[in-house]
Chain A
């Protein structure tokens, strides 16, 4: 299989007034052609920073980026000029942003935004660009594209806007798509139908997707492999099945438990990203439910292989996995079942309003 994205030892930080904030420290991340990789983590984990770093959109300074390797479809992102990187954006790599409400320029109609991008990118004339605009709008299942194309973003609903944004991202033939919480701020039915569209597009167009989300449920429905991001570090990674059915890292367990289910008390986590006096190199130590004396070592746990595809960065999980799971009754079987229903490929979605 061909690798679309390959990252090794990527470190991103920000210079701030009082010093330096270390935001992202990724060991290794690679995404194959046609694959969908899910990145899950809470707010502040560094998900969006990773996406912006890949696109070269972080302002430097204050951002500082170091990496041993950063390749996109054979292009070395570290050595190319800003101009070459710009040519890459849109053409090979595109991004769908978090907030559909504000990702479209309010002063332009959908038509002029899309035609502008298409014309600049492929140099076709106005009529052909309009043709392609309508084509892509149909592809993302926008009803009545001829009407919608004349509207301003504020005249569209959240779901419609997000579809326009997806069409915009795909319209220049990008084969690698970063979807940064594409269903945030949308209600659940619209969310489901957007996800269906994305899933279908991925299969039809064969684009690789880096899917960023804060819920494992969304990711497990959309992706082949999942990485759990905590404080800018991947603490567990593996196939969706491995992560959902056989989670090893206590934080992954917390994430799974955070999905509400009937008849079960929700996880109540009081210490949310607060600065706790850290006695351990482990980032999760302060709020870990499974920590033990062995965790109080000074060194950060490294990613250890559990199986061929599954890695975890937890001292206890690697040495004695059952010990952690024993005091954590979870009933995880539910999660893949519910999320499995979420996506029914190749079926007309209900129209979102």
Chain B
């Protein structure tokens, strides 16, 4: 294992100390219980938005704390859900009296920990709503699985709900916007390489030099299908077709296209992917009216990408365009 770390068990703690040292102007980092809040928290009268999940997906979620996006992020250990006591403390630190919206990615651990945290917070008189994001079309949603995973749509939901909260919309409204984003977004990812969890010290799975994994999650969990490596246009066709046909997105739709890097893929390749996606959607009469290209929801050092499409209307477009000032996303300020 080659990593820029000291000891594997200290990586998350030292990452948080680095964030605190770098961004004291915008963020407050609580070490010990490990959570990040915006420096001006709590914002009176505003719905507070809390998210969290395992570490290793940076910039998600800590990089999205700030004006126009999250009020707090709770990082767990690498690929491990944060804990209820941590989430409860974060919720108390950012609750400005208008309640708390938790944005939860659909993983068994995250959902159970956030459920326990919500039970605790309600016990202390804090109004809490939870929205579970489950946009990954690679996973079959049925009674016999844990349901679809939450992936790229999480980033879009955090941005858009953050804007809705800044408009001082009440909690049920902000939660409604979150559900609307989830209902209109679909994603699928692929990997060219495995990732290496620091504490494990070796790649989570082995991929041959001429192989790729289609339908990968964001935790190095293998996907549903291993295929021979193919050119970008074939990979994009496989991912985008599954995404488009699932919702389905249809001719005349306006979409936000999010091409995301998994952590070990250069921006050059993401633009190659975007170019193929743009051509494919144009051919289907789907217009990309907003885009986001870069590594925003990653899987440590994994090489690969995911494609997320969000069907836009005027409300979602305006909320996407609203100012945001975080270390990961920043515009309009």
Do A and B actually bind?
no
